[in-house]
Amino acid sequence: MGTGTASDATDGEAGLLSAVGAGDTALVKRLLQEDSDPGLREAAFCLAVRTYAGDIAQLLLQYGADAGRCGPEELLPLRDAVESGSPALVEALLDQRIRGRYPQTELLEMRDLARRRHEMGAGAELRRRTGAEEALVHTRVQDDEYYRVGELTLGGRSVRDGHAAILTDLEELLGIRASFEELMARALHHDQDHTAWGRATILLAHRRDRETWEAAAALRTRPGPSHRLFGAEVLRLTHLFDDSDEDAFAGPALDIFTDWSRTETDLAVLTEVLNALGEQADSRAQKALLAHAGHPDAGVRRMVAAGLGGWRELPDVTDRVREALLVLMTDVDTAVRRDACLRVAQGSDRAPVLVEAMAALLGDPDRQVQVAAVHGLALHNDERCVEAARRLRPPRPGGSSEEHYLDAVWRYEWRRDGR
């Protein structure tokens, strides 16, 4: 096909390819949102892969780059991607349009390679390669849109510690079913925001079988908070991903999380439990959330704010929910105020006292709270949103969420004027 490289770029190509070459994810996204020439995206994808920028390669795929138009010689060998320890980079090379280039024998070899690197540890392998004796430099980096990994640097070389996630991905691709215990062990070696943790919980949740559910539920009694957190996330995602008509996990999830919320003391686990309750359309879940509305930890209060009042079919708790949200909208924590305002904005309760509470937040010292208030007033058809939006515009560069929230004002004006 011959997509070309950065040196072949015309003036029109230079912006996108330069941003990719510089590893500037935010700029790449902005250029893609501005509808850059679709023909450049394959060249940019090839460059992103060759420069080990897995997050940018995935972003380009999301915006329409066709990996199949890149010749094998224009991409990184799969072995190099696995060695790099970047799950995002490996995932980009395993895009369904080019996956067929790798025979099963090669995929099995890469599975074995990922397992060896995982078991040895990224740092030990890096030290073996470089022979350097100085201390490893360890940082956390964003590997894709949602997850982070560790990056280790020694002797001028770097490697990421995502081999456990790569192993999980390759096993799934090959149809190899890893046990619950093994996937959990891979996850618990890292923090919750690490790709290895995310890959394990999502894969287990999609199994949606009784064996997996019971194994996750049994973790509730484990003394280690990380075990309880892992179990809670698997249970929550199992219910969240269940799109069947039977919704077989709704009842068990409600029972276990309602009881769990009364006894959990670890903040991270409690936050996950409350997150699960906020996804339940049941008054028992709302009452369990209300019990934590005055919790001393801001992260817990934020989860309460995000989960309250999202279900129209629960009139028996409306008054208590309204009172709690009014308090949370005046919380000392900025994120709590913002999330409470967004919940009121998107909820079905149209009480005038809630509208006035949102209007009061137009003078909040934090811009994001102001944006949430403008959004809410627009959704509640309150004229004050128009002038407030004028004072806030334009949205901050790269602030796609701001653009989304402020677009509600334009839609309000459209309704108001009968267009």
- Band (pLDDT 50/70/90 cuts) for residue 6 is very low
pLDDT on residue 10: 41
Domain ranges of the chain: 1-75, 284-419
Among 95, 153, 80, 88, CA closest to 122: 153
371-412 pLDDT, tens digit per residue, is 999 999 999 999 999 999 999 977 665 556 788 899 999 999
Residues 175-182: contacts with CB under 8 Å, at least 24 apart:
176/111, 180/204, 180/211, 180/212, 180/215, 180/216, 181/215
Per-residue pLDDT, averaged over 178-183, amounts to 98
Which three-class secondary structure state does DSSP give residue 94? Answer: coil
> How does strand 157-160 pair with strand 137-142?
unpaired
Q: Residue 52 and residue 397: Cα distance in Å, rounded?
A: 26
27-84 pLDDT, tens digit per residue, is 999 899 887 677 799 999 999 999 999 999 999 999 999 999 999 999 999 999 999 9
Whether 1-75 shares its CATH topology with 284-419 is answered no
Which of the residue ranges 90-104, 144-158, 301-315, 316-330 would you say has the lowest mean pLDDT?
Answer: 301-315
Per-residue pLDDT, averaged over 246-259, amounts to 93
- Band (pLDDT 50/70/90 cuts) for residue 243 is confident
For residue 147, give both structure tokens: 């997850």
Per-residue pLDDT, averaged over 337-362, amounts to 95
pLDDT on residue 314: 61
CA distances 371 to 361, 384, 413, Å, are 9, 13, 17
8 Å CB contact between 278 and 293: no
CA distances 369 to 51, 209, 330, 358, 389, Å, are 38, 41, 11, 9, 12
Thinking of the domain 284-419, which architecture would CATH place it in? Alpha Horseshoe (1.25)
pLDDT on residue 240: 94
pLDDT on residue 310: 74
List, in order, residues 6 or more apart from 166 with CB less than 8 Å away.
Answer: 82, 85, 87, 90, 114, 118
8 Å CB contact between 374 and 363: no
Q: How many CA atoms lie within 13 A of 345 on its CB side?
A: 27
Q: What is the DSSP string of 208-261?
A: --HHHHHHHHHGGG-SSHHHHHHHHHHHHHHHHT--SSS-TTHHHHHHHHHHHH
8 Å CB contact between 242 and 249: yes
Q: Residue 160 and residue 151: Cα distance in Å, rounded?
A: 4
What's the pTM? 0.90
With a pLDDT cut of 90, the percent of the chain lying above it is 81
pLDDT on residue 247: 82
Check whether 9 has a pLDDT greater than 80.
no
| Residue with the two structure tokens 């392998």 | 125
pLDDT on residue 39: 78
| Residue with the two structure tokens 């913002």 | 338
Which CATH class for the 1-75 domain? mainly alpha
- Band (pLDDT 50/70/90 cuts) for residue 418 is confident
- Band (pLDDT 50/70/90 cuts) for residue 330 is very high
Q: Residue 311 and residue 280: Cα distance in Å, rounded?
A: 9
With a pLDDT cut of 70, the percent of the chain lying above it is 93
109-154 pLDDT, tens digit per residue, is 999 999 999 999 999 989 988 998 899 999 999 999 999 999 999 9
190-230 pLDDT, tens digit per residue, is 999 999 999 999 999 999 999 999 999 999 999 999 999 99
Which three-class secondary structure state does DSSP give residue 336? Answer: helix
